[in-house]
Structure 1
Amino acid sequence: MGRKNVTQPDPAHDRLRGLIVHQDPALIAFNKPAGLASQGGRGVTESVESLAAPLARGSKRPLRLVHRLDRDTSGVIILARTQPAAAALSAAFAERRMRKLYLALACGDVASTDGVIDQPLRKTARAGLDLVETCAANAPGAQTAQTHYQVIGRSKGATLLVLAPLTGRMHQLRVHAQILGAPLFGDGKYGGLFALGAEPAGRMHLHAFRLHGPHPSGGALALEAPVPEDLRQIWLRLGIDLAAALSLTSSSLLGAP
């Protein structure tokens, strides 16, 4: 008798399956961990896109990534199951009908409780790093960039923000937080501290926690990615009551820009 082929479990795929926050015939959404790239590229050995491939339900059509998160950002990320769903979702993101909210712990005190940062950005490179810098609206390579922000928590030396990007530029939230005089905790590229007192950052404190917009099959899509435990514990030790802070989040942040 011949030996049966036994499929060995893949811990990486199982880990991603455990991070599913929503799935239906049109799409699947994950709570992406920090440190995992959204898609493949130079020097990328695994990504959401590659790890999600076995979850295509036996379909010959691969799952399609319709937006991205920075490798160091955690939170909700969507892959489409079909080409029509991918087209509809991509159009919703491009036309700014898909709204995202991020939680960010910033170093320093943000004086105003809410506002809109309207500061053009452009790509640049320093010491071999792909970065973004502020610029004049008429500067070569300038792109409009707007972010609505709200302060929902404070502790000594830090501010918990909700950030709602009205545009989708590379590193937009990170640079706009820097403009507020409060770069993100753990974001060394843009001036963030790696420790607040005796509390190390561990990683960049930016998490995409809510996403609202049109569902490709009709109706509304409302997704939420729970805040990872590593961030919860650090914020708690810094004296931030996350539940109380979230209750202050303004519903207007999910409104039309």
Structure 2
Amino acid sequence: MNESTSITIIAGNNQKEIRIDKFLKEHIKNISRNEIQKHTNSGKILVNKKIVKKNYKVKPLDFIQAKIFKPPILDFLKYENINAEKIKINIIHEDEDIIVINKPAGMVVHPGFGNETGTLIHGIKYHFLNSKLNDFNLYRCGLVHRLDKNTSGLLVLAKNEYSQKHLSQQFYSRTIKRKYIALAWGDLLENKGTITGFIGRDPKNRKKMKILEEIYQNKGKYSVTEYKVLERFKYVTYVSCKIKTGKTHQIRVHFKHLGHPLFHDSTYGGNKIFMKKKCSNKNIKYLNNCLKILKRQALHAISLSFIHPRKESIKCHFICPIPEEFKKVLEICRNTFPHS
């Protein structure tokens, strides 16, 4: 029997829609489209954890897993082809199997079209080369989940194939617990709640996601976010969120769907003052100042819990501090916009 090779590819932000067989042919050498189609028909090609048909069209940020029954040669996704870059990385924990990182806002996790350098992966390679860990394949083993470029917080990477499979299974079975904090515009009606819906590409803007109408639900992916109000202010609400699923832009899309986009989320309308007509000129000035301080969506992955892949009796729990600019906006809200 031929040896099987598992490949993980994450489509770039600006990926044009093309058939899955053509996409894989462009990224894997020594394999034909006919062979790729055979693997697709046998259920060996997954996109976003789901089996797809051979005519599936790859979309931006698709997470593709291919189990190819011959050792292929990776093209630009080869670990060797990623240049190590000396980038400051805030490491929360590291052992022989995993590395947990506090990712700053503004850092892209993985290389892609428009982000060929300066990503977390480039910095991780530099870190591992200087740690004499030279046989690490970042694309085959490392990435098990992601954070948006302008979302800060905790991210775990696997350092070997065993850990990658173990962590991926935990994500698949939803036993990994992730908690986020966020600022949402407006005054939420309930102190806690659950937001659900099928998330898919916005047909009017392929870079955006949205909750699909019922007739289009077969084109989306089911998503669940639980939220709890931590503090209420006059113009924004401070919440904690637990995601039961991990879909692209999930929390951002869910709060947009509620009519309460995240503070300074430029993609989903949060970069403008909410209900501006009801604000005094003085408060508009304060809110504009907050937008200048926190120059990205107010979303931070504050805690992460999972079972250690090698030591299954150990439950790992990590927390990281709230970024200073986020904390500063919270203080301004407490002092300037107390809830009546």
Which interval holds the TM-score relative to the shorter structure? 0.7 to 0.9
- The Cα offsets for residues 192-229 of structure 1, whole Å up to 9 and x where unpaired, read as 13453542242111000111121111121111121111
Corresponding residue to 2:125 among 39, 45, 53? 53
Query: Alignment partner of 1:88: what SS?
Result: helix
Does the 8 Å contact 1:61/1:82 carry over to 2? no
- Residues 199 and 92 (structure 1 numbering): CA distance in 2 closer, same or farther, change over 3 Å? same
Comparing both chains, which one has the higher relative contact order based on Cα–Cα distances under 8 Å and sequence gaps of 6 or more?
Answer: 1
Which residue of structure 2 aligns with residue 204 of structure 1?
A: 297
In the alignment, the residues of structure 2 paired with residue 227 and residue 13 of structure 1 have an alpha-carbon distance, to the nearest angstrom, of 25
Aligned residues: 226
Corresponding residue to 2:113 among 12, 26, 42? 42
Partner AA of 2:252 in structure 1: R
Which residue of structure 2 aligns with residue 77 of structure 1?
A: 155
> TM-score normalised to the size of structure 1?
0.82
Partner AA of 1:190 in structure 2: Y
Which residue of structure 1 aligns with residue 316 of structure 2?
A: 221
Instruction: Report the CA distance between 1:14 and its aligned residue.
Output: 5.4
Which residue of structure 2 aligns with residue 26 of structure 1?
A: 97
Corresponding residue to 1:97 among 175, 178, 181? 175
- Residues 25 and 119 (structure 1 numbering): CA distance in 2 closer, same or farther, change over 3 Å? same
User: Where in structure 2 are the equivalents of 1:177-256 lying within 5 Å?
Assistant: 177-194=255-272, 196=287, 198-200=289-291, 201-217=294-310, 218=312, 219-239=314-334
- The Cα offsets for residues 87-129 of structure 1, whole Å up to 9 and x where unpaired, read as 11111112211111110001111110001111211123545x5
Tell me whether 1:141 sits opposite 2:192 in the alignment: no
Deviates more, 1:53-62 or 1:229-238: 53-62
Query: Alignment partner of 1:92: what SS?
Result: helix
User: Structure 1: any 5+ residue segments left out of the alignment?
Assistant: 1-11, 241-257
Partner AA of 2:324 in structure 1: E
Q: Which has the larger radius of gyration?
A: 2
Partner AA of 1:136 in structure 2: E
Does the 8 Å contact 1:98/1:211 carry over to 2? yes
In the alignment, the residues of structure 2 paired with residue 199 and residue 233 of structure 1 have an alpha-carbon distance, to the nearest angstrom, of 8
> TM-score normalised to the size of structure 2?
0.63
Query: Alignment partner of 2:88: what SS?
Result: helix
Does the 8 Å contact 1:107/1:193 carry over to 2? no
Instruction: Report the CA distance between 1:188 and its aligned residue.
Output: 1.8
Partner AA of 1:123 in structure 2: R
Query: Alignment partner of 2:86: what SS?
Result: helix
Instruction: Report the CA distance between 1:13 and its aligned residue.
Output: 3.1
- Residues 141 and 233 (structure 1 numbering): CA distance in 2 closer, same or farther, change over 3 Å? same
In the alignment, the residues of structure 2 paired with residue 143 and residue 15 of structure 1 have an alpha-carbon distance, to the nearest angstrom, of 35
Deviates more, 1:150-159 or 1:131-140: 131-140
Does the 8 Å contact 1:124/1:132 carry over to 2? yes
Deviates more, 1:90-99 or 1:107-116: 90-99
Does the 8 Å contact 1:110/1:181 carry over to 2? no
Does the 8 Å contact 1:49/1:65 carry over to 2? no
Partner AA of 2:126 in structure 1: P
Which residue of structure 2 aligns with residue 13 of structure 1?
A: 86
RMSD: 1.8
Tell me whether 1:68 sits opposite 2:146 in the alignment: yes
